[in-house]
Amino acid sequence: MTTATDFAKQLSRFLSEYLPHERNVSSNTLSAYRDTFVQYIDYMHTRKGITVEKLCLKHLTRENVLGFLEWVLDERHCSPATRNYRLAAIHAFICYLQYIVIEYSEEWQKILSIKAMRTEIKALNYLSPEGIQLLLQQPDTSTRQGRRHLAILSLMYDTGARVQEMADLTVDCIRIDSEPYTIKLFGKGRKSRIIPMMKEQVVHLRQYMEENHLNNSNMFGTPLFFNNRHEKMTREGITYILKTYADMARKVNPSLIPERLSCHSIRHSKAMHLLQSGVNLVYIRDILGHVSIQTTDIYARADSKAKRQALEKAYVDLNPEVKSERVWERDRNLREWLKGLNH
């Protein structure tokens, strides 16, 4: 019988107890952290010759972590952003270990000092109001499926919800029987937030719920959106729905629908439209469920850049051209003085 190493024991507790129960992380974060350590174990086996049965905490060193991060970039051909995410997972494990396994405290601090790589800041990908309107015109509302898809897409835009938040919605999260209309979303770390909704925004959702008999208390806890097999809608399912209608809308007007469009692009679109309508960044932060206003500030920077580019594109130089000597060409003394600077 093989005895589990200290690495195996602590990693198991970190993933199965600490993260889900004490840190209350989402299943997606848990899955990403798990993948990081699967890859780290593969790296230690293939590059260092240390099998998982012999992998101990003493092998978790700054040198090995740096080697692993290089391997992620060079051998797995991952982006710097993915490399940084792997590092974040390892840092989280080290933060957990430093209060439990103190004999390696010096090494833990060395690992925590590893910096994230600089990554290129990509321009925000979002649709104009006309683009959103075109997208929402694509589902065939004469069919039950089309009405369900319209309810999903319109709600995702109206609330600025993350795709996982959409998939996790249950009937009891919706309050549209009387005003004020609200929806309760569960974000990262299962933190909840209440999003107000306007009367115009609940039309498609109410129709969908009535058609599928979801508007009674007996359905509380039931997934709000489900697929054709009546199974809870997944992230991948919602993404597929968006891609289907984005492709259709792009054929109608390619200039309004970019080639790369994700569910997060719809969230970006909502944030930008709120900002452009004059909504305070603090309110946008709360609607999107950001912890820090600095995260939300990317929309203000993107809007400022868009305004500047629009001004530059529309600018017409109406100033008359003035042909005149430069002042130092006119002023002999200044000209001679400038020439003399090299001497």
pLDDT band at 202 (very low <50, low <70, confident <90, very high): confident
Look at the chain and report how many structural domains it folds into: 2
Distance (Å, whole) CA 333 – CA 89:
66
> Which pLDDT score is estimated for 283?
85
Taking the C-alpha atoms of residue 124 and residue 221, their distance in angstroms, rounded to an integer, is 35
Residue 75 located in a structural domain:
yes
Domain, as residue range, for 272: 129-312
Within a domain: 20 = yes
Q: Is 294 found in the same domain as 177? A: yes
CATH number reported for the structural domain that contains residue 250 in this entry: 1.10.443.10
* Whether the predicted pLDDT of 306 surpasses 80: no
The arithmetic mean of pLDDT across residues 292-305, rounded, is 65
For residues 237 and 227, the answer to whether their CB atoms sit within 8 Å is yes
Instruction: Examine the domain organization and report whether 186 and 302 are in the same domain.
Output: yes
Average pLDDT, the chain: 85
Q: What is the mean pLDDT of residues 198-205?
A: 85
> Model-level pTM?
0.66
pLDDT band at 109 (very low <50, low <70, confident <90, very high): very high
Domain match, 135 and 101 both: no
What pLDDT, in 10s, does the model give residues 238-270? 999 999 999 999 999 999 999 989 999 999 999
**Residues sharing a CB contact under 8 Å with residue 199, sequence separation 6 or more, in sequence order:** 179, 181
> Which residue(s) pair with 195 in the sheet?
183
d(CA 275, CA 279): 5
Q: Please tell me whether residues 139 and 261 are part of one structural domain.
A: yes
Mean pLDDT of 70-90: 93
- Position 1 scores a pLDDT of 43
The answer on pLDDT for 316 being more than 50 is no
- Helix, strand, coil percentages (3-state) for the chain, rounded to 5, are 60, 5, 35
Which burial class, exposed, middle or buried, applies to 232 when counting CB atoms under 10 A from its CB (0-12, 13-18, 19+)?
A: middle
CB 248 within 8 A of CB 138: yes
Q: Is the pLDDT of residue 300 over 50?
A: yes
Mean pLDDT value of segment 195-210: 87
Residue 97: count other Cβ atoms within 10 Å of its Cβ: 22
